[in-house]
Amino acid sequence: MKVTGVIQAGGRSVRMGGRPKALIELGGKSIIERVVAALTPAVDDVLIVTNTPDFYAFLGLPMVADVYPDHGSLGGIYTGLKAAGGGAALTVACDMPFLHPEVVKLVADRAGEGDVVIPRVGSQLETMHAAYGKACLPHIEERLIAGHLKIVGFFERVRVVEITEADVARFRDPHVAFMNLNTPDELERARALAAELG
């Protein structure tokens, strides 16, 4: 199955003082460049969901604007999946600096096994590091129209395949692989980690 990598870059970064988190530099590269580098080897093509394309033009990747603006991550997942050339969209957030190509591949390789293929860490499903198949589109759209924006809200309507924490841990500590940056404190922690990981 052809899998399109989708980077969600639609957030407002309010807790980071309004500057796009994805453009913050970490270990000599912007976070979004790190995301692109981890995603590209594991998928067939990559696109960015963003309402501020000027910020990301330097990456030379196709970009699409939210079909349902102001509908949070669920709206971004829908937009990326609708635009995806592949049968599934492997969706990640633009502020995850420690994505691991092998963990991405773990999800991509299993994309055909369910409508949603998603890692679980403890009680948490990693909704922003998951593959969504085209069969999810009508169910997501129904939720968006109704204003129900919780990502897992449509999962009972589709086939969900979970990837275990132990499978992820073979390549990288899941708490590092799925870490995203929302606050200046988290950014400081990430800077220390980046130095540690090289």
Low-confidence winner among 9-23, 29-43, 150-164, 167-181 (lowest mean pLDDT):
9-23
Can you give the C-alpha Rg of the chain in angstroms? 16
The H helix count followed by the E strand count for the chain is: 8, 10
Ramachandran area for residue 132 (φ above 0: left; ψ -120 to 50: alpha; else beta):
beta
The residue written with tokens 């997942």 in the block is 77
Span 86-133, pLDDT tens digits: 899 999 999 999 999 999 999 999 999 999 999 999 999 999 999 999
pLDDT value at position 17? Answer: 61
CATH of the domain at 186: 3.90.550.10
Q: In sequence order, what are the residues at sequence separation of 6 or more whose Cβ sits closer than 8 angstroms to the Cβ of residue 149?
A: 71, 72, 73, 74, 75, 143
CB atoms within 10 A of CB 123: 5
Q: What CA–CA distance (Å, rounded) separates 128 from 91? A: 6
Q: What CA–CA distance (Å, rounded) separates 67 from 62? A: 15
In three-state secondary structure terms, 96 is: coil
Cβ(48)–Cβ(58) below 8 Å? no
The residues facing 162 across adjacent strands are 118
Domain limits at 37? Answer: 3-197
Cβ(161)–Cβ(117) below 8 Å? yes
Which of 182, 193, 195 has its CA nearest to residue 15?
182
* Interval 45-57 mean pLDDT: 95
In whole numbers, what is the pLDDT of the chain averaged over residues? Answer: 94
pLDDT at 14 over 80: no
Indicate the number of domains in the chain. 1
Chain centroid offset of residue 171 CA: 18
